[in-house]
Amino acid sequence: MSNQAKLELDGKSYTLPVVIGTEDEKAVDVSALRADTGYITLDEGYGNTGACKSKITFIDGEKGILRYRGISIEELAEKSSFVETAYLIIYGHLPTSAELQKFSDLLTSNQNLHEDMKYHFEGFPSSSHPMAILSAMINAASCFYPDLMQGDRSHFDEHAARLISQVRTIAAFSYRKSVGKPIIYPKNGYKFTANFLHMLFSDPYDDYEIKPEVARALDLIFLLHADHEQNCSTSTVRMVASSQANLYASCSAGVCALWGPLHGGANQAVVEMLQQIHASGDDGSKFIAAAKDKASGKRLMGFGHRVYKNHDPRAKIIKKSCDEVLRSLKIDDPLLNIAVKLEEVALRDSYFVERKLYPNVDFYSGIIMRALGIPVEMFTVLFAIGRMPGWIANYKEIADDPKGRICRPRQVYVGQSLNSYVPMSTRK
């Protein structure tokens, strides 16, 4: 096979290098296109543009494959934890026992916020969305570490662990503020996910009972969301990092991108759909019938995926955990009953099967978080907690590249041609 592509433009022929990835992904390298031809490529939304070479995550949407650093998501979900997976994603290899212990110790020793940060929380109205607080407070936290602000990367390990650990603390504090409850500090004796549940739901003199299956389900949600190739928020982190902005600023930008309803709000949309179905007095049957009719405007949220053209591999994993949590908690929730019905119908109805509209990870994660009593406005925050290792790993890839350049996309200008200034007195 030729390792070059040919392009005919204005009567001239050009050769373009072909780049082939380790999983046989093929790309035409157009890096020199503008310099050689005067042309640029136009790809609105970057749907067919490879913006980088990365060693972190591989996805094959047609086959339903997701791997972190070459290890399948199925194997990691079965054998690993979120903390170990975070280390793998950031540093490129599974940790030794000593490396994992050191990383865990860094997470524990850096989980508390600087006490002055409490004054920042007090400045937000109680109605503030937790994602707004999360983004602002990540940026604010960077102010307490002068070496970070000066571009010193000698303490990267500590800052990476601090960010992964403190994002839970910020998230829990913002939730407690929104419901008028006192702040609960993390406990050194709790593991990563159990500590988050403790900070969310404990009271000053009454610790929340942490059930192992609940902590495992939430840890699994974090693990399954830890990275997902060049999505909107990860690409945003890389874009900001390319300017040599610090780690906190770059990841704060990722939070802002994730906040958008077309990105991180999918599991929230699932619960909102269930609420609408329940409010209408439907058990889901009428809604499913309407979803088959394009003219109805109804759409099953949490079914199908832009990347995965078959099953979402994460959905297969989390479904089992979802079933275990619902059995364990024995919750009688009409919304969850509707969700179960939607799932059953979509998995056997030929309309959805033929179109491969299977339940995705957002469908099951939304159900789990609803069952755990996590409010819907916190769903995207939990997504951000899980995605933090991926953002940090992508930041590190940018920062470690000695040939790295600031990201600067081109455009095709379609506005007015050369125009003249019109004095105010003669304007109509």
Domain span at residue 323 reads: 266-371
Residues 301 and 312 in one domain: yes
Q: Domain holding 193: CATH number?
A: 1.10.580.10
Residue 193 placed within a domain: yes
* DSSP per-residue letters across 152-206: --TTHHHHHHHHHHHHHHHHHHHHHHHTT-------TTS-HHHHHHHHHH-BTTB
Put residue 72 in one of left, alpha, beta given phi > 0 → left and psi -120 to 50 → alpha: beta
Cα→Cα distances 393→195, 229, 247, 289, 389, Å = 23, 11, 10, 43, 6
Residue 357 placed within a domain: yes
Neighbours of 164 (CB within 10 A): 27
**CA 354 from chain center: how many Å?**
28
Summarised one tens digit per residue, pLDDT across range 11-44 is 999 999 999 999 998 999 999 999 999 999 999 9
Residue 25 placed within a domain: yes
Q: Which two tokens stand for residue 10?
A: 């204005």
Q: Which two tokens stand for residue 137?
A: 């407070």
pLDDT at 134: 95
Residues 32 and 172 in one domain: no
Residues 120 and 188 in one domain: yes
Give me the percent of the chain exceeding a pLDDT of 70.
Answer: 99
Residues 77 and 176 in one domain: yes
pLDDT at 15: 93
DSSP bridge partners of 4: 17
Residues 301 and 210 in one domain: no
Residue 66 placed within a domain: no
One-letter amino acid of 257 = A
Look at residues 402, 342, 333 and name the one whose alpha carbon lies nearest to residue 371. Answer: 333
pLDDT at 354: 85
Which letter, b or e, does each residue of 349-382 get, where b requires 16 or more Cβ atoms within 10 Å of its Cβ? eeebeeeebbbbbbbbbbbbbbbbebbbebbbbb
Residues 96 and 201 in one domain: yes
Look at residues 198, 171, 163, 164 and name the one whose alpha carbon lies nearest to residue 184. Answer: 198
pLDDT at 151: 65
* DSSP per-residue letters across 206-251: B-----HHHHHHHHHHHHHTS--SS-HHHHHHHHHHTTT--HHHHH
Residues 252 and 195 in one domain: yes
Catalytic residues: 305, 362
Residue 55 placed within a domain: no
pLDDT at 264: 87
Residues 145 and 229 in one domain: yes
DSSP bridge partners of 59: 66
- Crossing angle, helix 334-348 and helix 266-279, to 10 degrees? 110
Task: Quote the DSSP letter at residue 303.
Answer: B
Residues 260 and 155 in one domain: yes
| Claim: this prediction has a pTM higher than 0.85 | yes
Residue 377 placed within a domain: no
Residues 103 and 45 in one domain: no
For the chain, which ranges sit under pLDDT 70?
1-2, 149-152
pLDDT at 150: 67
Summarised one tens digit per residue, pLDDT across range 200-244 is 999 999 999 999 999 999 999 999 999 999 999 999 999 999 999
Query: Do the Cβ atoms of 55 and 67 come closer than 8 Å?
Result: no
Q: Whole-number mean pLDDT of the chain?
A: 91
What percent of the residues of the chain are helix, what percent strand, and what percent coil, each to the nearest 5? 55, 5, 40
pLDDT at 5: 92
pLDDT at 380: 94
pLDDT at 54: 96
pLDDT at 149: 67
Give me the percent of the chain exceeding a pLDDT of 90.
Answer: 64
Residue 414 placed within a domain: no
Q: Domain holding 21: CATH number?
A: 2.20.28
Residue 154 placed within a domain: yes
Residues 172 and 295 in one domain: no
Q: Domain holding 281: CATH number?
A: 1.10.230.10
Residues 214 and 291 in one domain: no
pLDDT at 16: 93
DSSP bridge partners of 5: 16
Q: How many domains in the chain?
A: 3
